[in-house]
Amino acid sequence: MISIYTYISFLLTGLYLLVIVYLIKGWAALKRPVLSSTTFNTKVTILIAARNEEDNLAETIEDLLAQDYPKELTEIIIVDDHSTDNTAGIIRSYADQGVKLLQLQADQALNSYKKKAITEAIAMSTGDLLVATDADCRMGSKWLSSIVGYYEKYNPVMISSPVNYFHEQSFFERLQTLEFSFLIGIGAAFIGNGRASTCNGANLAYRKDVFYEVGGFKGIDDLASGDDELLLQKVAAVYPGRIGFLKLREAIVYTYAKPDLGAFLQQRRRWASKSTRYKDKKVVALAVGIWAFNASLILNVALGFFNPWFFKLLLAEFLVKVLFETALLMPIMDFFKRTALLKYMVILSPIHIFYMVYIGLMGNTSKYNWKGRMVR
């Protein structure tokens, strides 16, 4: 019995290490694009769905208005998703600067208000390229021009761009930044390997005609989440090889880590809830394999109290896991200029094991709270 389980444990560890090597290769395959264009031809619509964001929205709008992209080629549409604070008022105050307010009027309860908001904003948009971000994000003045420059030079139908946390206020938030960078790196690395799997809706661009060609959010609108990754997978099924990751620091969007454990787990449950709906079932199988690897490490902890051999097995697996994950994260954190956070890897890795197993179970079995609503 011990020999059989040991064999399975080694098999899962080997699978996980192969995945990490695959991701290291994918990240390395992404080259920094050289964007030399100083003239642009693309009409762009920036899309934001906002709910109760009065504390952050003004700064985001100011960043959007400060973009060095031609104003005559820029449209900003912000959807107020039934906010109960002054979100709509803040948007209206920028009307004379061209910011358009769309107030969502859902006549019946929905499970995905955000997809509804984005769909209605796209319907009234005039841009050929849609660039989605969130109401609590910050970006530099070259953010939009770098995205459009990449679009006009390489002609992708969808562009996933980097997102990172900033202004961390606690050790917990710094751990989140390290873990979040790992997730962003995974999505980028898959694209680098020619297989789009994950992205982040805080920094995602796509052609409007392609959005309608793949049916928009039809078929995935029963889930609250998935306006980014599930849409990406729909596009990837029709346009394999035409999705790019913009590995450029000027394209980074910054947002905030969650202030406490409860908010963090709610967010991650929301993200995990869409994983079983991925069109690429190989990615789903891979995710299940990674979950099984982490579950086996926890099982080794329990079995170690009955047979010390399992503690030795656990130690070997854990050390290899930390080394390979650090090898993956080093170039990613260097890109974000956050290499100082790598010192927390020994702390994050054991926490991450339990977190992965918990989120894998809870993300697909129960409802969660999102913006004051219970959804699934």
What the block records as the tokens of 72 is 């005559």
Closest by CA to 183, choosing from 202, 166, 163, is 163
Q: Which pLDDT belongs to residue 111?
A: 60
Q: Is 161 exposed, middle or buried (0-12, 13-18, 19+ CB in 10 A)?
A: buried
Give, as one character, the DSSP assignment of residue 260. Answer: S
CATH of region 32-259, choose from 3.30.70.260, 3.90.550.10, 3.10.450.750, 3.100.10.10: 3.90.550.10
Q: What is the pTM of this model?
A: 0.91
Q: Which residues of the chain have pLDDT under 50?
A: none
pLDDT computed for residue 284 by the predictor:
81
Q: Would you state the pLDDT for residue 376?
A: 54
Q: Which two tokens stand for residue 170?
A: 């606690």
Angle between helical axes of 261-272 and 345-362 (0-180°, round to 10): 60
Report d(CA 88, CA 95) in Å as an integer.
11
Q: Cα–Cα distance between 189 and 183 in angstroms, integer? A: 10
Q: Which two tokens stand for residue 211?
A: 């959005």
Amino acid at 195: R
The predicted pLDDT at position 227 comes to 86
- Cα–Cα distance, 311 to 309 (Å, whole number): 5
